[in-house]
Amino acid sequence: MKKSILLLAVLFATFLSAQTKTDSIMLNPQTQLNAAQRLLSGNYASAVTIGAYGEMLYNQPDGDNGELDVQRLVLLLGYRFNDKTQFVTEIEMEHVEEIYVEQAFVNYNVANNVNLRGGLMLVPMGIVNEFHEPTTFNGTERPAMDNAIVPTTWRELGVGVSGRFNDISLGYQAYVFNGFKSTIADGEGGVSGFLKGSNGLRSGRQKGIKSTVDSPNLSTKLDYYGIPGLRLGFSTYFGKTQAADDVETIDGANIGISMVGFDARYAYQRFTARGQFIHASLSDTDDYNALTGRDLGSALQGYYVEGAFNLLPTNNEQKLFAFARYEKYDTHASTAGSLVENEAYDRTDVTTGLTYHLAPGVVLKGDYQFRSNALESSDVKDRLNFGIGVWF
């Protein structure tokens, strides 16, 4: 523990010596754009646009060896066919061994406040699922509740509409997607399940990989930005999971999902804050668990609150944020039937550290996480993290 505090102190002292003007697109919640939005913004001379973001991390649980990892490197590509029609894609390499398509969609601008979209897109739930570029959030790792509850990075194939009504300071999105994959035949006369208690819906993300669909799901989000410095979000997701053809008629092969989320981001001078709450209610989990042998909860819930303060003068281009985040998330917020709630899935993380914006698009991070769960004999280890992030 003393070593960890000393390392953070050294990092802090080193960062204080630097001073340079930050990119307001990344830090002002009312004007903040994610990677796809920047490619669609039209602020490029060429029809072809290219960019990237990436993260290189060091994680060390107390008492264990540290791990160094190129966690992700994402290539951003866009093409403008004409003033109304554009294509955006993100190609992601994770851990220098896995390659995914994170987004790939066509955007057609019908009017000033209406865009039609189709393809592989991010589901607009919470903050980080859409704004996950490393320079847009504090902490070396993304909030853990986003991974377990949302679950980031959640993208699926679909079609929909988006836009902004600036006269009432309201942005909107509405999409029809395929759902999470729930079950598949195991080849031995039984049924295997993708969803489970420890990480909820996460393992059911289809990611556009030969996705199966038997019923579409509805996803919506409203963003309000009428108060200076403040951005409020309300997200919904309703539908059911998708099972493979040969098992979809079996009782318990699918579950119903109703998810709602509230999020807020605020910035005033050198102070920033954000918070998020997500609740998902799952139906028919008793039948699902009986069929698959899994331990999926009937409700998932999580929230976090975070505050940060820039330690450097506001007129400096470089920024040094000291931050603290408290998050609580439970993938067994409730259970159905005879399934007993697993207290190990009721988790609490407190993260505190520094975020240093070396230049617009380059960030250095260091933090320490105090991690625990509600299980009396919990052995969750606290963790020290450092990272380098870029986005251009």
Instruction: Tell me how far apart the alpha carbons of residues 236 and 219 are, in angstroms, rounded to a whole number.
Output: 6
Query: Which range is least confidently modeled, 21-25, 44-48, 175-179, 343-347?
Result: 21-25
293 φ/ψ angles, rounded to the nearest 5 degrees: 80, 10
pLDDT at residue 96 above 90? yes
Question: What pLDDT does 15 receive?
Answer: 37
For residue 17, what pLDDT is reported?
36
The neighbour count for residue 367, using CB atoms within 10 Å, is 24
Cβ(295)–Cβ(345) below 8 Å: no
Provide DSSP, 19-50.
-----HHHH-TTT---HHHHHHS---SSSEEE
List of residues 6+ apart from 234 with CB closer than 8 A? 221, 222, 260, 261, 262
Which fold is adopted by the domain 2-391? Porin (2.40.160)
Contact in structure between 201 and 280 (CB atoms under 8 Å): yes
Structural domain boundaries of the chain? 2-391
How many C-beta neighbours within 10 Å does residue 297 have?
26
Say what percent of the chain tops pLDDT 70. 92
The predicted-structure confidence for 361-373, as pLDDT tens digits, reads as follows: 999 999 999 999 9
pLDDT interval class at 46 (50, 70, 90): confident
- The rounded distance, in Å, linking the Cα atoms of 232 and 221 is 10
Q: Is the pLDDT of residue 4 over 60?
A: no
- Please name which of 180, 356, 167 lies closest in space to residue 280, comparing C-alpha atoms: 180
- Cα separation, 287 vs 302, whole angstroms: 24
**CA distance linking residue 183 with residue 289, whole number of Å:** 11
**Which comes out higher in pLDDT, residue 348 or 6?**
348
Distance CA 354, CA 332 (A): 32
Check residue 79 and give its pLDDT.
96
Asked if residue 9 has pLDDT above 60, the reply is no
User: Cα(145)–Cα(349) distance, rounded to whole angstroms?
Assistant: 9
Decide if pLDDT at 211 tops 80: yes
Residue 290 burial (CB < 10 Å; 0-12/13-18/19+)? middle
Mean pLDDT within 146-154: 96
The whole-number pLDDT of residue 26 equals: 63
Q: Kindly report which listed range (18-27, 47-56, 233-242, 347-356) carries the lowest average pLDDT score.
A: 18-27
pLDDT, residue 21, reads 38
Rounded to whole angstroms, how far apart are CA atoms 175 and 236?
11
CB atoms within 10 A of CB 254: 25
pLDDT band at residue 378 using 50, 70 and 90 as cut-offs: confident
Asked whether 348 and 373 are in contact (CB, 8 A), the reply is yes
Helix (H) or strand (E) holding 128: none
Q: Answer whether the bond into residue 151 is a cis peptide, omega within 30°.
A: yes
Residues recorded for the chain:
392
- pTM for the model stands at 0.91
The two tokens of residue 278 are 């997500």
CA atoms of 371 and 327, how far apart (whole Å): 10
Maximum mean pLDDT: which of 26-35, 242-251, 345-354 = 345-354
Quote the pLDDT of residue 74: 98
Element (H, E) at 73: strand 67-80
